[in-house]
Amino acid sequence: MEASGFVLAGGKSSRMGRDKATLPYGGATLAFHIAALVRQAVGTVAILGDPERYGALGYPVYPDVVPGCGPMGGVFTALSVTSTDWNLIAACDMPSLSSTIFRTLLERASKSRAECVAASGPSGEPEPLCAVYHRDCLPALQREIEDKRFRMKVLLTELRTETVSVASLALVNLNTPEEWREFSEKPE
């Protein structure tokens, strides 16, 4: 299945106090780490965020088509610029994700009639920032943005969404300095 891969890196990181995408990880940055995993799974990757801030990562970077919409703006941008039907979207602040998880989501999407295939932990709740979106989702995203409703989990309830269960630790995102320190201090 032909697909495109995108990494959301344009968040405000207000709870972290600094840009999460540029936190050091594995000899590079969190954003670079996730981008490499997406590229392994999909073959291509682009960053969704500020080209000045993330251009040095060596991947194409797309700024939000509609700024100020949070992650929804990034997903909307990805589906606006993509040339493929299916598009893997991964947040840069979930370092325990893997290319295997991404490939599993893509495989499910290739056999699905869903508009979105999202990873889910033990609760079964979908993670909208580790998901594969069909570009047919673009009108629904546009409506949400026009109505100033920017909650990704609500959007998934309005789409035909399937979930794929993954290990709960894979979906842990790092939002605070304490969470980052705890993650960084864990043995690998």
- 85-109 pLDDT, tens per residue? 999 999 999 999 999 999 999 999 9
In whole angstroms, what is the distance from residue 38 CA to residue 41 CA? 5
In whole angstroms, what is the distance from residue 11 CA to residue 113 CA? 31
Residue 111: burial class (beta carbons within 10 Å; 0-12, 13-18, 19+)? exposed
pTM value is 0.94
Closest to 33 (Cα-Cα) out of 98, 101, 128 = 98
91 bridge partner residues: 8
In whole angstroms, what is the distance from residue 180 CA to residue 67 CA? 27
pLDDT classification of 180: cutoffs 50, 70, 90: confident
The CATH architecture annotation of domain 3-185 reads Alpha-Beta Complex (3.90)
